[in-house]
Amino acid sequence: MSLEQNYQNILSQLPQNVKLVAVSKTNPAFKIKELYDLGQKAFGENKVQELLEKQPVLPNDIEWHLIGHLQTNKVKYIASFISMIESIDSEKLLKEVDKEAAKNNRKINILLQVKIAKEDTKFGLTTNEAKDIFSQYLAGNFPNVEIKGLMGMASFVDDETQIREEFSILKNLFDELSQLKPLKTLSMGMSGDFPIAIESGSNSVRVGSAIFGERNYV
Protein backbone atom coordinates (compact mmCIF):
# COMPACT_ATOMS: atom_id res chain seq x y z
CA MET A 1 0.00 0.00 0.00
CA SER A 2 1.14 3.54 -0.70
CA LEU A 3 1.71 6.16 1.96
CA GLU A 4 -1.50 7.86 0.90
CA GLN A 5 -3.52 4.63 1.10
CA ASN A 6 -2.09 3.83 4.53
CA TYR A 7 -2.86 7.35 5.70
CA GLN A 8 -6.44 7.34 4.42
CA ASN A 9 -6.94 3.91 5.91
CA ILE A 10 -5.92 5.13 9.37
CA LEU A 11 -7.92 8.35 9.08
CA SER A 12 -11.01 6.37 8.17
CA GLN A 13 -10.74 4.52 11.48
CA LEU A 14 -10.53 7.62 13.66
CA PRO A 15 -13.64 9.22 15.11
CA GLN A 16 -13.78 12.98 14.64
CA ASN A 17 -12.69 13.78 18.17
CA VAL A 18 -9.51 11.70 17.92
CA LYS A 19 -6.31 13.44 16.89
CA LEU A 20 -3.64 11.69 14.86
CA VAL A 21 0.01 12.21 15.66
CA ALA A 22 1.97 10.61 12.83
CA VAL A 23 5.06 9.01 14.33
CA SER A 24 7.81 9.74 11.84
CA LYS A 25 10.85 8.50 13.77
CA THR A 26 13.46 6.81 11.56
CA ASN A 27 11.71 8.11 8.43
CA PRO A 28 13.51 10.68 6.27
CA ALA A 29 12.33 14.27 5.93
CA PHE A 30 11.07 13.77 2.38
CA LYS A 31 8.60 11.14 3.59
CA ILE A 32 7.35 13.50 6.25
CA LYS A 33 6.91 16.17 3.59
CA GLU A 34 4.90 13.70 1.51
CA LEU A 35 2.50 13.12 4.38
CA TYR A 36 2.42 16.82 5.21
CA ASP A 37 1.36 17.52 1.62
CA LEU A 38 -1.52 15.09 2.13
CA GLY A 39 -2.71 17.28 4.99
CA GLN A 40 -1.05 15.84 8.10
CA LYS A 41 0.27 18.54 10.44
CA ALA A 42 1.18 16.76 13.72
CA PHE A 43 4.26 14.54 13.79
CA GLY A 44 5.92 12.61 16.61
CA GLU A 45 9.63 12.00 17.05
CA ASN A 46 11.33 10.13 19.87
CA LYS A 47 14.91 11.36 19.61
CA VAL A 48 16.04 14.96 20.00
CA GLN A 49 18.96 14.59 17.60
CA GLU A 50 16.74 13.26 14.85
CA LEU A 51 14.12 15.94 15.46
CA LEU A 52 16.80 18.64 15.23
CA GLU A 53 17.91 17.33 11.85
CA LYS A 54 14.38 17.29 10.42
CA GLN A 55 12.73 20.34 11.91
CA PRO A 56 14.78 23.00 10.06
CA VAL A 57 14.26 21.43 6.63
CA LEU A 58 10.50 20.98 6.94
CA PRO A 59 7.59 23.47 6.93
CA ASN A 60 7.44 25.51 10.10
CA ASP A 61 3.75 25.02 10.68
CA ILE A 62 4.39 21.37 11.51
CA GLU A 63 3.30 20.59 15.04
CA TRP A 64 6.14 18.56 16.54
CA HIS A 65 5.47 16.20 19.42
CA LEU A 66 8.29 14.65 21.39
CA ILE A 67 7.17 11.16 22.38
CA GLY A 68 10.36 9.49 23.61
CA HIS A 69 12.38 9.62 26.81
CA LEU A 70 13.92 13.07 27.09
CA GLN A 71 17.15 13.77 28.93
CA THR A 72 17.11 17.00 30.94
CA ASN A 73 20.28 18.27 29.25
CA LYS A 74 18.55 18.15 25.85
CA VAL A 75 15.43 20.15 26.69
CA LYS A 76 17.16 23.39 25.73
CA TYR A 77 17.54 22.30 22.11
CA ILE A 78 13.82 21.88 21.49
CA ALA A 79 12.29 24.40 23.91
CA SER A 80 11.86 27.15 21.31
CA PHE A 81 9.70 25.22 18.88
CA ILE A 82 8.26 22.02 20.35
CA SER A 83 4.44 21.91 20.31
CA MET A 84 3.99 19.17 22.85
CA ILE A 85 6.27 17.06 25.02
CA GLU A 86 4.24 13.91 25.56
CA SER A 87 6.87 12.07 27.55
CA ILE A 88 7.30 13.89 30.86
CA ASP A 89 8.37 11.00 33.04
CA SER A 90 9.92 12.71 36.06
CA GLU A 91 9.47 15.82 38.17
CA LYS A 92 13.07 16.74 37.46
CA LEU A 93 12.36 16.77 33.74
CA LEU A 94 9.23 18.85 34.22
CA LYS A 95 11.23 21.41 36.23
CA GLU A 96 13.76 21.66 33.45
CA VAL A 97 11.04 22.11 30.80
CA ASP A 98 9.48 24.82 32.95
CA LYS A 99 12.83 26.59 33.22
CA GLU A 100 13.56 26.41 29.48
CA ALA A 101 10.02 27.55 28.62
CA ALA A 102 10.57 30.66 30.74
CA LYS A 103 13.88 31.34 28.99
CA ASN A 104 12.06 31.20 25.66
CA ASN A 105 9.19 33.38 26.86
CA ARG A 106 6.61 30.75 26.12
CA LYS A 107 4.48 28.11 27.71
CA ILE A 108 5.23 24.55 26.70
CA ASN A 109 2.40 22.04 26.42
CA ILE A 110 3.15 18.73 28.06
CA LEU A 111 1.60 15.39 28.88
CA LEU A 112 2.50 13.38 31.93
CA GLN A 113 3.63 9.94 30.81
CA VAL A 114 2.28 7.31 33.13
CA LYS A 115 3.61 3.79 33.29
CA ILE A 116 0.63 1.52 32.75
CA ALA A 117 2.32 -1.52 31.19
CA LYS A 118 3.03 -4.49 33.40
CA GLU A 119 6.28 -4.89 31.54
CA ASP A 120 9.15 -3.44 33.48
CA THR A 121 10.85 -1.78 30.55
CA LYS A 122 8.94 1.41 30.01
CA PHE A 123 9.55 4.90 31.30
CA GLY A 124 6.80 6.71 33.09
CA LEU A 125 5.42 8.06 36.31
CA THR A 126 3.44 5.96 38.73
CA THR A 127 -0.16 7.11 39.09
CA ASN A 128 0.72 8.51 42.52
CA GLU A 129 3.65 10.49 41.15
CA ALA A 130 1.41 11.89 38.41
CA LYS A 131 -1.20 12.93 40.98
CA ASP A 132 1.45 14.56 43.13
CA ILE A 133 2.89 16.53 40.20
CA PHE A 134 -0.59 17.58 39.13
CA SER A 135 -1.47 18.90 42.58
CA GLN A 136 1.78 20.85 42.69
CA TYR A 137 0.83 22.27 39.30
CA LEU A 138 -2.61 23.26 40.54
CA ALA A 139 -0.93 24.96 43.48
CA GLY A 140 1.01 27.15 41.07
CA ASN A 141 4.21 25.23 40.47
CA PHE A 142 5.62 24.89 36.94
CA PRO A 143 3.95 28.14 35.75
CA ASN A 144 5.57 27.98 32.31
CA VAL A 145 4.13 24.63 31.35
CA GLU A 146 0.60 23.72 30.43
CA ILE A 147 -0.31 20.20 31.54
CA LYS A 148 -2.71 19.16 28.78
CA GLY A 149 -3.20 15.55 29.75
CA LEU A 150 -1.71 12.10 30.01
CA MET A 151 0.17 9.68 27.79
CA GLY A 152 0.70 5.96 28.20
CA MET A 153 1.76 2.83 26.38
CA ALA A 154 0.22 -0.57 26.90
CA SER A 155 2.32 -3.74 26.98
CA PHE A 156 3.26 -5.27 23.64
CA VAL A 157 1.15 -8.36 24.07
CA ASP A 158 -1.60 -10.10 22.14
CA ASP A 159 -3.80 -10.36 25.20
CA GLU A 160 -6.54 -7.81 24.52
CA THR A 161 -7.89 -8.08 28.04
CA GLN A 162 -4.55 -7.01 29.46
CA ILE A 163 -4.27 -4.11 27.01
CA ARG A 164 -7.76 -2.92 27.94
CA GLU A 165 -6.93 -3.16 31.64
CA GLU A 166 -3.81 -1.07 31.17
CA PHE A 167 -5.59 1.61 29.12
CA SER A 168 -8.39 1.78 31.67
CA ILE A 169 -5.87 2.65 34.41
CA LEU A 170 -4.92 5.73 32.43
CA LYS A 171 -8.49 6.64 31.53
CA ASN A 172 -9.48 6.45 35.20
CA LEU A 173 -6.60 8.68 36.21
CA PHE A 174 -7.49 11.09 33.40
CA ASP A 175 -11.07 11.33 34.68
CA GLU A 176 -9.91 11.73 38.27
CA LEU A 177 -7.50 14.56 37.49
CA SER A 178 -10.02 16.18 35.15
CA GLN A 179 -12.30 16.70 38.14
CA LEU A 180 -9.65 18.95 39.64
CA LYS A 181 -8.97 20.80 36.39
CA PRO A 182 -10.31 19.73 33.00
CA LEU A 183 -7.68 17.97 30.90
CA LYS A 184 -7.81 17.89 27.13
CA THR A 185 -5.58 15.12 25.83
CA LEU A 186 -5.52 11.42 26.58
CA SER A 187 -2.76 10.06 24.35
CA MET A 188 -2.85 6.31 24.02
CA GLY A 189 -2.77 3.89 21.14
CA MET A 190 -0.17 2.99 18.50
CA SER A 191 -0.34 1.06 15.23
CA GLY A 192 -1.05 -2.25 16.95
CA ASP A 193 -3.58 -1.16 19.52
CA PHE A 194 -5.14 2.19 18.60
CA PRO A 195 -8.66 0.82 17.99
CA ILE A 196 -8.67 -0.62 21.52
CA ALA A 197 -7.22 2.63 22.86
CA ILE A 198 -10.02 4.64 21.26
CA GLU A 199 -12.63 2.30 22.71
CA SER A 200 -10.90 2.88 26.05
CA GLY A 201 -11.25 6.65 25.81
CA SER A 202 -8.18 7.83 23.93
CA ASN A 203 -8.55 11.08 21.99
CA SER A 204 -5.02 11.21 20.57
CA VAL A 205 -3.26 8.31 18.89
CA ARG A 206 0.41 7.99 17.96
CA VAL A 207 0.63 5.92 14.80
CA GLY A 208 3.89 5.23 12.98
CA SER A 209 4.44 1.95 11.16
CA ALA A 210 0.83 1.58 10.02
CA ILE A 211 1.35 4.78 8.02
CA PHE A 212 5.03 4.79 7.09
CA GLY A 213 5.63 1.05 6.95
CA GLU A 214 7.69 -1.14 9.24
CA ARG A 215 10.84 0.33 10.71
CA ASN A 216 14.18 -1.42 10.68
CA TYR A 217 14.82 -0.28 14.21
CA VAL A 218 12.88 1.54 16.90
Ligand X SMILES: *Cc1c(COP(=O)(O)O)cnc(C)c1O
- Binding stretches for ligand X (CB under 6 A): 23, 25, 46, 67-68, 153, 190-192, 206-210
* Burial group, residue 39, by CB count within 10 angstroms (0-12, 13-18, 19+): exposed
Q: How many CB atoms are located within 10 Å of the residue 158 CB?
A: 8
Nearer to ligand X, 149 or 208 (CB): 208
Smallest gap from Cβ 212 to ligand X, in A, equals 8
Smallest gap from Cβ 177 to ligand X, in A, equals 20
Nearer to ligand X, 171 or 206 (CB): 206
Smallest gap from Cβ 68 to ligand X, in A, equals 5
Smallest gap from Cβ 135 to ligand X, in A, equals 26
In contact, 125 and 89? CB cutoff 8 Å: yes
Within 13 Å, how many C-alpha atoms sit on residue 204's CB side?
Answer: 21
- Return d(Cα 132, Cα 146) in angstroms, integer: 16
- Reported as type and span, the H/E element at residue 188 is strand 185-188
Nearer to ligand X, 68 or 149 (CB): 68
Nearer to ligand X, 102 or 123 (CB): 123
The residue number with the shortest CB distance to ligand X is: 208
